[in-house]
Chains A and B, each alone.
Chain A
C-alpha cells in the first residue's frame, strides 16, 4: 500500500491497523456490558419501587442485582472501554504500532470470561461485602492477571515511543495503567486472601474504591479530553505549562479523598478529616484542567467535542461537589442518602461521556470506515445529555430531601420512603432513556463492525492533517 501518495488515507495508519481487532473487541465487550448494566440498573430501581419484583428469585434479589449492576458497569463497561481508549492513545502518541497486541486479545478474552463467571458467582451469592469490589474472591486473581496482560502492551507502547517529548494524555494513561493493578492487588491481599481485621477493612475498601475511580477511570477520561481538544480544533492548549501540576495534584491527593465516605464511622477522626482536606486540595487539579481545556466549552464544536465538553463539565462539577459536600456540616445531611448516588453517577457520567467522545473519534480510524448512521449518533447524544443530567439532578434533590427529613426525629421512616418515590420514578425514566441511548450505541458499533467486514460502508475520507501551529495562548 502506498503511504504518501494518498493524502486522504494518510491518517489511517499502520498504527491504528495494528490495534484494530483487540481494541474493537474491547469496545464491543464494553458496550455490551454497558447495555447489560443499564438494564440491571433499571430493574434494580424498579425493585425499589415495586419490592415484589423478582423477590422470589434468589439469583436476582435486590442486593445481588445491585452488585451485578455495579460490577458489570465498572469492570465490564469502564475497564474494557478505558483500556481500549487508553491503549489507542498510547499507540497514537507513541508513534509506533501496538506491540504484543496478542496479549491484549488474550487478556481481554480472559477479563470478560472472568467477569461473566464473577457475575454468575454474585448471582449465586458469592460476592464480597465491599462496595466497588464485589466480584467473588475466587475470580479476582484471574482478573488481575488478565488486566496485567492487557496493560503490558500499553507500557511497551510508552517505553517504545518514537518521540522523546511526551504529552499530558500519555502521563495520565500510563499512570492509570500502573495505579489500578497496584490498588487492585493490595485490596485483594488485604481484604480477601490475608484479610486485615475489623475496622481496617472498610478503610482499605474505601481506599481501593477511591483509587479505582480517581486514579484509574478519571485519568483515562482526562487523557481523552487532553487529546481530543487540540487534535480536533488544531489549537495549542492554553496555559499548558501548568498541566504537570494538574497531573501531580491528582496523583498526590486523589487517593486520600476516599475517607470522606467514612465520616461518622468507627474510624479515627483524622481519616475523614484528611479526606475532606484532600478533596479541597484536589480542586487545584480541577482548576488546572479547566484552564487547559476551557476550549471545549467554546460554541460550535463537533459532536465528539460536545460529548467531551459534557464529560469535562461533569468532571469539574463532580470534583466541586465532592469537596463541598464532604464538609462535615453538609455531609450530615447527604451521607447515606440518594445524594451520594447522585455524586457517583455524576462522576461515572463524566467518565462515560469522555469515553463516548473517544470512541466516536477512534472507531472510524480503527476500522477504516465511517459510522453508518447520523440518526443513531444523534439519538445516543440526546439520550446521554437528557438521561445523565436528569438522573443526577433527581437523585440529588431526592437525597437532599431525604437527608433533611431523616435528621428530623418527628418524621417517620415510612413517610420519608414514600416521599422519595416520585423522584425514583423519574430516575427510573432517566435510566430507561440512558439504556435506550446506550443500546443504540451498541447496535451502531456492531453495525460498524459488520460493514467493515463486508466492506459495505463508505471508506472514511480523512482530511489532510496539518502541523499544529504554535500560537500565543
Chain B
C-alpha cells in the first residue's frame, strides 16, 4: 500500500491525492473582483443580466398568478384551493325559539309586554289567545301586513291601537324576513303556556308570495280566511 513502489509521473491523474491549482487568497480576491461584474468594455450590451431579469420576472409572474388563483385569499378557512372565502354560504340551523325570542324582545315587547299579557283594553294579550294558537294563515297575515280596526280577543274588544306591518312588504317599517316572522310566531305559539304547532318559514313565504302588498287587515277580512 505504501507509495514508494509506484511514484506516478502524472500526479494530477492520481486519485489518491486531489491536486489543487489555486491558492485560497487568490480565490477570494479574484472572485471579489469578479463579483463587481464583467467590465463594460466598449459599452457592449450584456445579454445575461437581461435574460436573468426576464426569467426571474417570468417566475414571479407565474408564482404570483398561481398564488392569486389558488391561495383562497390566504384565508384560514379555505381548504379547497379552487374556492374563495365566503364563496359558499354556510347553512347554519338557528333555533327558531332563540331567534323568535330575540325578535319579540326587539319589537313586540313594547305593546304586548314581556309576559305576553298586553295592556288591558289597549293591547290584546297573546297568552291563550285564539288568534295566536289558532289559524296559522290568519296569524301570519296579521304580522305580515298589520291589523287595523276593532278586534275581539278572548271575548274582549280592542279598538285603541293598530298592529303595524312587519313583513317584507311595501309600507313596512320593519322588513323582517320570512324566517324571522316564522321564528317569532313559533315563539309566541309555544311560550307562556301556549302549546301550538311551530310555523314554517315556507308557510310565511307562501303567504307573502300570494299577497305581496296590501293595507292592514280588518277582523272581518281575517275571519273570512280559514
Chain A residues near B (Cβ < 8 Å)? 11, 92-93, 95, 163, 165-168, 230-234, 236-237, 239-245, 266-270, 272-274, 276-278, 280-281, 283-284, 287-288, 291, 302-304, 328, 360-361, 364, 370-374, 377-378, 447, 451, 456-458, 460-463, 465-470, 472-473
Contact A472 B38 (CB under 8 A): yes
B70 at the interface (CB under 8 A from A): yes
B25 at the interface (CB under 8 A from A): yes
CB distance from B165 to the nearest CB of A (A): 46
A-B CB contact pairs (8 Å), 19 listed: A93-B24, A165-B29, A167-B31, A167-B32, A230-B22, A236-B31, A241-B35, A242-B52, A268-B75, A273-B67, A273-B72, A280-B59, A280-B62, A280-B63, A281-B60, A281-B63, A303-B18, A304-B15, A463-B21
A284 and B62 contact, Cβ closer than 8 Å, known pairs A236-B34, A240-B31, A466-B23? no
Contact B55 A287 (CB under 8 A): yes
A457 and B36 contact, Cβ closer than 8 Å, known pairs A266-B79, A270-B71? no
A167 and B27 contact, Cβ closer than 8 Å, known pairs A277-B66, A456-B2? yes
Which of B3, B20, B55, B72 makes the CB contact (< 8 A) with A284?
B55
Contact with A along B1-45 (1 / 0, CB 8 A): 111100000011111111111111111111111111110000000
A468 and B30 contact, Cβ closer than 8 Å, known pairs A163-B25, A276-B66, A377-B16? yes
Q: Give Cα A57–Cα B63 distance, bound, in whole angstroms.
A: 49
Contact A470 B38 (CB under 8 A): no
Which of B16, B37, B70 makes the CB contact (< 8 A) with A241?
B37
| CB-based closest 3 A-B pairs | A234-B21, A458-B3, A165-B32
Q: Give Cα A472–Cα B13 distance, bound, in whole angstroms.
A: 27
Report how many A-B pairs have Cβ atoms within 8 Å.
193
Contact B25 A95 (CB under 8 A): yes
A468 and B23 contact, Cβ closer than 8 Å, known pairs A165-B29, A287-B55? yes
Q: Give Cα A451–Cα B20 distance, bound, in whole angstroms.
A: 22
Contact A466 B31 (CB under 8 A): no
Q: Which residues of A contact B27 (CB under 8 A)?
A: 93, 167, 230-231, 468
Q: Which residues of A contact B36 (CB under 8 A)?
A: 241
Q: Which residues of A contact B224 (CB under 8 A)?
A: none
Contact residues of B between 152 and 171, Cβ < 8 Å to A: none
A281 and B20 contact, Cβ closer than 8 Å, known pairs A240-B34, A270-B72? no
Q: Which residues of A contact B52 (CB under 8 A)?
A: 242, 245, 287-288
Using CB atoms, name the residue of chain B closest to A306.
Answer: B15
Contact with A along B200-215 (1 / 0, CB 8 A): 0000000000000000
B221 at the interface (CB under 8 A from A): no
Which of B2, B20, B60, B76 makes the CB contact (< 8 A) with A11?
B20
Q: Which residues of B contact A280 (CB under 8 A)?
A: 59, 62-63, 66
A230 and B15 contact, Cβ closer than 8 Å, known pairs A93-B24, A239-B48, A270-B74? no
Chain B residues near A (Cβ < 8 Å)? 1-4, 11-38, 48-49, 52, 55-56, 59-60, 62-64, 66-67, 70-81, 83
Q: Give Cα A242–Cα B75 distance, bound, in whole angstroms.
A: 36
CB distance from B8 to the nearest CB of A (A): 10
Among B31, B52, B77, chain A packs the most CB atoms within 10 A around the CB of B31
Contact A231 B22 (CB under 8 A): yes
Which of A166, A281, A374, A468 makes the CB contact (< 8 A) with B59?
A281
Q: Which residues of B contact A302 (CB under 8 A)?
A: 12-13, 15, 18-19
A370 and B21 contact, Cβ closer than 8 Å, known pairs A467-B26, A470-B33? no
Q: Give Cα A1–Cα B30 distance, bound, in whole angstroms.
A: 30
Contact A463 B11 (CB under 8 A): yes
Contact B48 A273 (CB under 8 A): no
Contact A457 B56 (CB under 8 A): no
Contact A268 B16 (CB under 8 A): no
Contact B3 A240 (CB under 8 A): no
Q: Which residues of A contact B81 (CB under 8 A)?
A: 269, 272-273, 328
Q: Give Cα A466–Cα B19 distance, bound, in whole angstroms.
A: 12
Q: Give Cα A361–Cα B14 distance, bound, in whole angstroms.
A: 12
Q: Which residues of B contact A268 (CB under 8 A)?
A: 72, 74-79
Contact A165 B72 (CB under 8 A): no
Contact A466 B2 (CB under 8 A): no
CB distance from A443 to the nearest CB of B (A): 12
A241 and B38 contact, Cβ closer than 8 Å, known pairs A281-B60, A372-B1? yes
Q: Give Cα A231–Cα B80 distance, bound, in whole angstroms.
A: 51
Using CB atoms, name the residue of chain B closest to A11.
Answer: B20
Q: Which residues of A contact B78 (CB under 8 A)?
A: 268-270
Excluding A273-B66, A302-B15, A461-B11, 20 further A-B contacts by CB distance (< 8 Å) are: A93-B27, A230-B22, A234-B22, A236-B30, A240-B34, A268-B78, A269-B71, A269-B72, A270-B75, A272-B81, A273-B71, A284-B56, A287-B52, A373-B1, A377-B16, A456-B2, A463-B12, A463-B19, A463-B20, A467-B26
Q: Give Cα A243–Cα B36 distance, bound, in whole angstroms.
A: 11
Q: Give Cα A280–Cα B20 distance, bound, in whole angstroms.
A: 36
Contact A232 B62 (CB under 8 A): no
Contact B30 A470 (CB under 8 A): yes
CB distance from A467 to the nearest CB of B (A): 4
Q: Which residues of B contact A463 (CB under 8 A)?
A: 11-12, 19-21
Which of A165, A239, A244, A447 makes the CB contact (< 8 A) with B28?
A165
Contact A278 B63 (CB under 8 A): yes
Among B19, B29, B72, B73, chain A packs the most CB atoms within 10 A around the CB of B19
CB distance from A200 to the nearest CB of B (A): 11
Q: Give Cα A360–Cα B60 distance, bound, in whole angstroms.
A: 40
Contact A371 B16 (CB under 8 A): yes
Among A231, A288, A462, chain B packs the most CB atoms within 10 A around the CB of A231
CB distance from A357 to the nearest CB of B (A): 8
Using CB atoms, name the residue of chain A closest to B22.
Answer: A468
CB distance from B59 to the nearest CB of A (A): 5
Q: Which residues of B contact A456 (CB under 8 A)?
A: 1-2
Q: Which residues of A contact B26 (CB under 8 A)?
A: 466-468
A361 and B20 contact, Cβ closer than 8 Å, known pairs A270-B78, A273-B71? yes
Among A11, A283, A465, chain B packs the most CB atoms within 10 A around the CB of A465
Q: Which residues of B contact A374 (CB under 8 A)?
A: 14-16
